[in-house]
Amino acid sequence: MSDNTSHAPTVQCPTCGGPSVFEPANAWRPFCSQRCKNIDLGAWAAEEFRVPAQTPPQDAQYGDPRTED
Show binding-site residues for Zn(2+).
13, 16, 32, 36
Nearest approach, Cβ of residue 4 and Zn ion (Å): 28
Name the β-bridge partners of 20: 11
| Enclosing H/E stretch for 43 | helix 34-50
| 64 vs 69: CA distance, rounded Å | 11
Nearest to 28 by CA among 17, 13, 16: 13
13 near Zn ion, judged by CB under 5 A:
yes
Q: Interacting stretch for Zn ion, rule CB under 5 A, among 11-19, 21-29, 45-53, 59-67?
A: 11-19
The number of residues that bind Zn ion (CB under 5 A) is 6
* Site for Zn ion, residues 19 to 38, rule: CB under 5 A: 32, 36
